[in-house]
Chains A and B, each alone.
With several copies, the nearest count.
Chain A
Amino acid sequence: ERRSEAVFAYAPKNDFSQFEPRNEKWGANFPREFESYYQTSDTIFRSKYNGSATIDELEEDPRMVVLWAGYGFSKEYNQGRGHYYAVEDVRNILRTGAPNDSVKSPMPNTCWTCKSPDVPRMMNEVGIAEFYKGSWEKWGAEIVNPIGCADCHDVNTMQLRISRPALIEAFERQGKDISKATHQEMRSLVCAQCHVEYYFNKKKIEGVPYLTFPWDNGMTVEAAEEYYDNMNFSDWTHKLSKAPMLKAQHPGYETYLTGVHAERGVSCADCHMPYKSQGGVKFTDHHIQSPLNNVANSCQVCHREEAHKLIADVYSRQDKIKENVNILEDLLVKAHVEAKAAWDNGANEEQMQAILMDIRHAQWRWDYSVAAHGASFHSPVETGRIVSSGINIAQEARIKLTRLLADLGHNKEVEIPDISTKAKAQEYIGLDMATLNSDKEEFLGTVVPQWLEEASQRESKY
């Protein structure tokens, strides 16, 4: 009889603490969840725009190199893959640089925050601000386990749990108490610890790039923009246009909230962690991935439609949004290059100011609508709205630039350089990729093995 399987399936025995970072430890008690979690190491599935394979976004679309000129993302940016790779990927990416005894990483420790269950452990040990402080190599030997059980679960009850302070603090500043969230809301809020737009607030505590979510004025793209504008915040100054730029990072939760699924109470877990039955027990599939690789359990329980039709629905929404995202991207490249031409032709700060704010706002909208990768399905109408307004603002910038360039004696189209490949685009913005790559290789071959060694010694003593 299969029903009995359920009874003997496991014997809960938690002989470890809330801050146990090793998924295997938790997994021993929950083999179904652990085994399915482990499948996030699979990198085979590729959908039309997403999937678990690594996609070199800059190679696919070299215009992004120009959009991010002067910022780390122009060095390397990949479409994200499974949780299993979170730590590996943050080490591998050129953005974190190649720290060693004499060179520091260009990134702060805050970058570890969303990559590992070692994070709550360390925050518990050293304190939140202390954790964020300093450059990224500081915790290299501490953060080694990829995203896992302790990030989302309570050790005693296995209930969902918010482990990251940034989300709790953001709720507090909005006057909401996250501990009052319903169970169903928690099935999305655990994801909202990481799949959200964020910035590093350097004014909260002197010298600490404090992880903060820009939600104080509301959760829309405009509310966050206003928030940043009011505090004069910018992530970097664009190398070509000199615009004070914002980087939008995966506002997955925010855009999801504006879609019809959220409106109807469908949670992230409903689609990305659907139930699965095995041995007479329904459990939560921890193979978090594109639902298009699992239409039967995710979509089809709610939608009795053939799988290929549901997939076609997703693609058709993505196609319709991407069409205009593409246009917007072209306009932004032009705007940056034209702004550079204006500076080169002698424009002054005052003449450029309104133009640069337009560029900032237009690119913010572009980034906001693509960075989360799921938005054009999660909320196609809202995403379309954002892209539309982005196109309008980018073109306003270009109208002003045309007028200014004419004033400066250059009344004709500005030539756009050849940026048809990643390599050409990176050369155009003046990146020395050879050095960056070889330094990284060196770092991965020497520093990282030391970190791992140190960590395994430490963990062996738990």
Chain B
Amino acid sequence: MSILKKILPPDKWKIPVIIVSAILLGLFFFLFYVSNASSYLSDDPKTCVNCHIMAPQYATWMHSSHREWANCNDCHVPHNNVFNKYYFKGKDGMRHASIFTMRAEPQVIQIKEEGHHVVQQNCIRCHSNLITDAKMNTIHGDFHSDRTDRTCWECHREVPHGRVNSLSSTPNAKVPLPESPVPDWLKEALKETKK
């Protein structure tokens, strides 16, 4: 009760706060909808391409040997536990969605420190058999960390996105076009008004 009290605004602010909250919530859902942020909840790579900004990564992944084995989220989202997975997705998703909607994206996207760590753990998750060796681990205390202390793509520089990392690096790639969030009826209506 006392906690609630602290959180709830004083009475005279209630109305304005409700209004502001409603607006914020509305904006949030609008952002969520227009930017297709819900796609972050899915594992289908096509949904990442909801932002044309993700097209180069999609196209390069499409042509990589990982296409058959690993989708975007296999690499880019933590797989150590379910909570972490959705927490990370939600956090990243909303940040990317906001940046995208605000047109603040940089020309050359570069993976962030945190995301970088997530990917590395996923490489290891799938390839652990190859890179560490149970027997070596038993005598060589640091064998596992020695084998994983550099990012895998320091050597495997082309896995899976190739080396050229610009929004424009794959201009003609066939990328699934995002479905428009504008409903068909509205499009029709707009066409009508143009006539």
Note whether A and B contact each other (Cβ less than 8 A). yes
> Which residues from chain A sit less than 8 Å from chain B, CB to CB?
1-3, 6-7, 9-12, 14, 156-159, 182-184, 265, 270, 274-277, 279-283, 296-297, 300-304
User: Is A12 in contact with B138, judged by CB distance below 8 angstroms?
Assistant: yes
User: Is A302 in contact with B140, judged by CB distance below 8 angstroms?
Assistant: no
| Nearest CB on B from A328, distance (A) | 36
Which residues of chain B from 103 to 138 have any CB-CB distance to chain A below 8 Å in the complex?
103, 105-108, 110, 129-131, 133-136, 138
27 contacts between A and B (CB under 8 A): A1-B34, A3-B129, A6-B52, A12-B135, A12-B138, A156-B139, A157-B139, A157-B142, A158-B139, A159-B146, A183-B142, A184-B150, A274-B107, A274-B166, A277-B107, A280-B130, A281-B130, A282-B131, A296-B108, A300-B165, A301-B108, A301-B155, A302-B155, A302-B164, A302-B165, A303-B157, A304-B110
User: Is A300 in contact with B108, judged by CB distance below 8 angstroms?
Assistant: yes
Query: Given contacts A157-B139, A159-B140, A296-B108, are A277 and B167 in contact (CB under 8 A)?
Result: yes
User: Is A277 in contact with B168, judged by CB distance below 8 angstroms?
Assistant: yes
User: Is B108 in contact with A297, judged by CB distance below 8 angstroms?
Assistant: yes
Task: Tell me which of B105, B108, B135, B149 contacts A10 (CB under 8 A).
Answer: B135
A280–B156 alpha-carbon span in the complex (Å): 18
A14–B164 alpha-carbon span in the complex (Å): 34
| Nearest CB on A from B113, distance (A) | 12
Task: Tell me which of B129, B168, B180 contacts A275 (CB under 8 A).
Answer: B168
- List B contacts of A157 (CB < 8 A): 139-142
> Which residues from chain B sit less than 8 Å from chain A, CB to CB?
34, 52, 103, 105-108, 110, 129-131, 133-136, 138-143, 145-147, 149-150, 154-158, 163-169, 171, 178, 180-182
User: Is B107 in contact with A296, judged by CB distance below 8 angstroms?
Assistant: yes
Nearest A residue to B141 via CB reads A157
User: Is B149 in contact with A270, judged by CB distance below 8 angstroms?
Assistant: no
- List A contacts of B129 (CB < 8 A): 3, 6, 280-281
Task: Tell me which of B149, B157, B181 contacts A183 (CB under 8 A).
Answer: B149
User: Is B135 in contact with A11, judged by CB distance below 8 angstroms?
Assistant: yes
Q: Which of A281, A296, A302, A303 gathers the greatest number of chain B CB atoms within 10 Å?
A: A302
User: Is B52 in contact with A302, judged by CB distance below 8 angstroms?
Assistant: no
- List A contacts of B142 (CB < 8 A): 157, 159, 183
| Nearest CB on B from A231, distance (A) | 40
A182–B142 alpha-carbon span in the complex (Å): 12
User: Is A265 in contact with B168, judged by CB distance below 8 angstroms?
Assistant: no
Question: 17 more A-B contacts (CB under 8 A) besides A183-B149, A296-B107?
Answer: A6-B134, A9-B133, A9-B135, A11-B135, A12-B138, A157-B139, A157-B142, A159-B140, A182-B149, A265-B150, A277-B105, A279-B103, A280-B129, A296-B108, A300-B108, A300-B110, A301-B155
| Nearest CB on B from A273, distance (A) | 12
Nearest A residue to B116 via CB reads A304
| Nearest CB on B from A124, distance (A) | 22
A328–B131 alpha-carbon span in the complex (Å): 47
A6–B129 alpha-carbon span in the complex (Å): 8
- List B contacts of A184 (CB < 8 A): 149-150
User: Is B155 in contact with A296, judged by CB distance below 8 angstroms?
Assistant: no
Query: Given contacts A275-B166, A275-B168, are A7 and B134 in contact (CB under 8 A)?
Result: yes
A184–B164 alpha-carbon span in the complex (Å): 15
| Nearest CB on A from B124, distance (A) | 12
User: Is B182 in contact with A1, judged by CB distance below 8 angstroms?
Assistant: yes
User: Is A3 in contact with B180, judged by CB distance below 8 angstroms?
Assistant: yes
| Nearest CB on A from B178, distance (A) | 7
Task: Tell me which of A182, A274, A281, A302 contacts B133 (CB under 8 A).
Answer: A281
Task: Tell me which of A11, A277, A297, A302 contacts B163 (CB under 8 A).
Answer: A302
A182–B140 alpha-carbon span in the complex (Å): 16
| Nearest CB on B from A323, distance (A) | 31
A12–B137 alpha-carbon span in the complex (Å): 11
Query: Given contacts A157-B139, A183-B142, A265-B150, are A297 and B107 in contact (CB under 8 A)?
Result: yes
A11–B146 alpha-carbon span in the complex (Å): 21
A318–B148 alpha-carbon span in the complex (Å): 34
- List B contacts of A159 (CB < 8 A): 140-142, 146
Q: Which of A7, A14, A275 gathers the greatest number of chain B CB atoms within 10 Å?
A: A275
- List A contacts of B165 (CB < 8 A): 300-302, 304
- List A contacts of B146 (CB < 8 A): 159, 183
User: Is B164 in contact with A301, judged by CB distance below 8 angstroms?
Assistant: yes
- List B contacts of A279 (CB < 8 A): 103
User: Is A301 in contact with B166, judged by CB distance below 8 angstroms?
Assistant: yes
